[in-house]
Amino acid sequence: MIAEAAARIFADLADPQTINRAKNGAWKEPLWRALSAAGLPLAWVPENLGGAGAGVAAGFAILGVAGRFALAVPLAETLAAGWVLARAGIEAPATPMTVAPARPRDRIAIDADGRLSGRAIGVPFAQEAEHIAVLAESGKERTIALVAAKDCRLGDARNLAGDAANVVTFERVRPLRSAPAPHGFDRAALLLIGATIRSVETAGALEAILSLSVEYANQRIAFERRIGKFQAVQQNLARLAGEVAAALAVSSSAADTIAQADTFDEAVFLEAASAKIRAGEAATEGAAIAHQVFGAIGFTQEHVLHRFTLRMLSWRDDFGNESYWAAELGEHVARRGADEFWPLVASR
């Protein structure tokens, strides 16, 4: 369905090998045009707000496929932005977008005249986005705002994979549109949906890495044998499969939870925080194993492996890293107490 449509577009226009050889970013424009024509960037925006209304589960399915292609255009970010705007009933523009804040410690304030001030670091693809969906705060009031990226000051910064990840400074920026955030939608909720998005993409990237690694181990000859015949290599690849499986299971579980949930309750918190932690750990382990399998060739610019490994290693830091969510989750579990812990685990 929609995920298959996405896969076809990625295969045609976002082949990682082709993009890795590209001299410039000329591949981006036709790719984005095709994605837009298929309604994918606004999949999470209801039809009455200008989107495709494809549903939460379908959107996550698209992102899993995007991870398998190490997609380097702001599709996930535009999906997230559309979703945030829809919470407040703000119509989504048909442009590349991103969301802010994207890190737990950042805060954007909104003053009495509705102007935004503050700084958000590591905002993914901010310099390729035309609009930013912002969650702004004033005391206990929360506002969702649509901001033109050109109205903000953008610091030039990139993640490990070379994708834009800018510092965005808001200096009394007047939003194009703004509306109160619905009850229960706060910074934690924004981070949780971002965390789940990154977990789903990471699981997709890990699937691709496993596939590439197994294929290589079955071809590469050393000591007169295919290296995949060596037990040491087999054990490493089995470990990699375990990490892929863990990331896949926990991220699809979190995505499913969000798709079924009416509010960002405890279930969403447990599932999404766990997904970000465990998928991040899987990215760390999985990248190391895959590079070990490929040896020196996998460490070259020319080889496609880094498109996956560096991207998923960078994703660990978006929307709260493993340590951040672990501390949050640990505090929550400790507060509930030992007798309530098993019931919480078993409730999912």
Partner 1 sequence: MTAHLQFDPIRLPPECETLRTDVRAFLAEEVAAGTFDPHQPGHGDAYNRGFSKRVGAKGWIGMTWPKRYGGHERSQLERYVVTEEFRAANAPAHLHFVADRQSGPILLKYAPEHIKQDILPRICRGELCFAIGMSEPGSGSDLFAAKTKATKTDGGWTINGSKIWTTSAQIADYMLALFRTSPPTKENRRHGLTQFLVTMKSPGIVVNPIRQMTGKAGFNEVVFTDAFVPDDHVLGEIDGAWKQATSELAYERSGPERFLETFYVMLELIRALGPEPDLRGAEGLGRLVAQLHTLRRMSVSVAGMLQAGKEPVVEGSIVKDLGTIWEQKLPNRVRDLAAFLEPEILNRATLEDQLAFATMVAPKLTIQGGTTEILRGIIARGLGLR
Residues that bind partner 1 (CB under 8 A): 207, 210-211, 214-215, 217-218, 228-229, 231, 233-235, 237-239, 241-242, 244-246, 248-250, 252-253, 255-257, 270-271, 273-275, 277-278, 281, 322-323, 325-331, 333-335, 337-338, 341-342, 345-346, 348
For partner 1, the closer of residues 26 and 346 by Cβ is 346
Give the bridge partners for 252, in sequence order: none
At 49, which amino acid appears? L
For partner 1, the closer of residues 138 and 260 by Cβ is 260
SS (H, E, C) 28-48: HHHHHHHHHHCCCCCCCCCHH
Per the CB < 8 A criterion, the answer to whether 159 and 314 are in contact is: yes
Give the bridge partners for 73, in sequence order: none
> In the structure encoding, which two tokens stand for residue 81, read together?
């932005």
> From CA 336, how far away is CA 216, in angstroms rounded?
48
For partner 1, the closer of residues 177 and 332 by Cβ is 332
CB 214 to partner 1: min, Å: 4
> In the structure encoding, which two tokens stand for residue 215, read together?
């294929």
Per the CB < 8 A criterion, the answer to whether 77 and 122 are in contact is: no
For partner 1, the closer of residues 92 and 287 by Cβ is 287
For partner 1, the closer of residues 121 and 240 by Cβ is 240
CB 287 to partner 1: min, Å: 18
Nearest to 78 by CA among 42, 49, 33, 53: 42
For partner 1, the closer of residues 163 and 201 by Cβ is 201
201-210 per-residue burial string, b: 16 or more CB within 10 A, e: under 16: bbbbbbbbbb
CB 160 to partner 1: min, Å: 22
**Within 10 A of 167 (CB to CB), how many other CB atoms are there?**
17
CB 64 to partner 1: min, Å: 12
CB 65 to partner 1: min, Å: 12
- The label of the residue with tokens 């977990």 reads 199
CB 306 to partner 1: min, Å: 20
Nearest to 75 by CA among 129, 24, 26, 133: 129
CB 222 to partner 1: min, Å: 15
**Burial of 262 by CB count in 10 Å (0-12 exposed, 13-18 middle, 19+ buried)?**
exposed
For partner 1, the closer of residues 49 and 241 by Cβ is 241
